[in-house]
Structures are given as structure tokens and as C-alpha cells.
Amino acid sequence: MQQRQYRIPKEVTTELKINKMLYLYDLLFLVALIIVRLIALPFIPYVLHLPFTCFLVGFGLFLVIRPTTNPEKRMVHVLYYALIKKKDTYMALADRNESSKGA
């Protein structure tokens, strides 16, 4: 009997990549949007089915992309952090002149 060998990831936080651009999290997020579409479709007039589907596809792709300013996070995380941040907390901004000079 042949013994199976499984690859054990070195890091637990490593994302599972399905293909060159698609990760497992992205696929599950898009599947969740498809389920939301299927649930919401009976409540939407028939003439708006196609625009609603196009909106969900565009919105889903927008939320899954990674911004150039923070490539480790997806846009959905960036928007979430922007919405929940405390407005009365002081956040220092880095001076662009100091960062371009180098240390």
C-alpha cells in the first residue's frame, strides 16, 4: 500500500494560491457574492437583474484587488479599517520630504 505524503506549509499565515492571480480567499469571497446575488435576485425587478449582476461583479473585483499603497491587504480590508478607525485619535503623517531624503 502506497503511503501518501502531504506538504506541510512552513507558515500558517501563507495564503493558498489557486492560480497566478487568484487566492483561495478571493475565490471564497466571490462565491459569497454569488450566494448574495442568488438570495437578493427574487427581491429585484426583472429589468434590473443584469445591472445588479454587473454591479456585483465590479464591486466584488474592486474589493478583492490589492491597493498599490498596501499590497499585503485587499481593498475590503482597507475600507474596513478606514470605517472603524477612531476619528478622535491623532494619527501622525510622515513628512514626504524627510522620507525621500533618506536617513
**Spatial distance between the Cα atoms of 55 and 47, rounded to a whole number of angstroms:** 14
pLDDT (tens digit per residue) in 2-57:
777 777 766 666 777 888 878 888 889 889 999 999 999 999 999 999 999 999 99
Give me 66's grid cell. Answer: 490589492
pTM of the predicted protein model: 0.63
Q: Which residue carries 475600507 as its cell?
A: 79
Residues near 78 by beta carbon (within 8 Å), at least 6 away in sequence: 67, 70
Residue 81 has pLDDT above 70, yes or no: yes
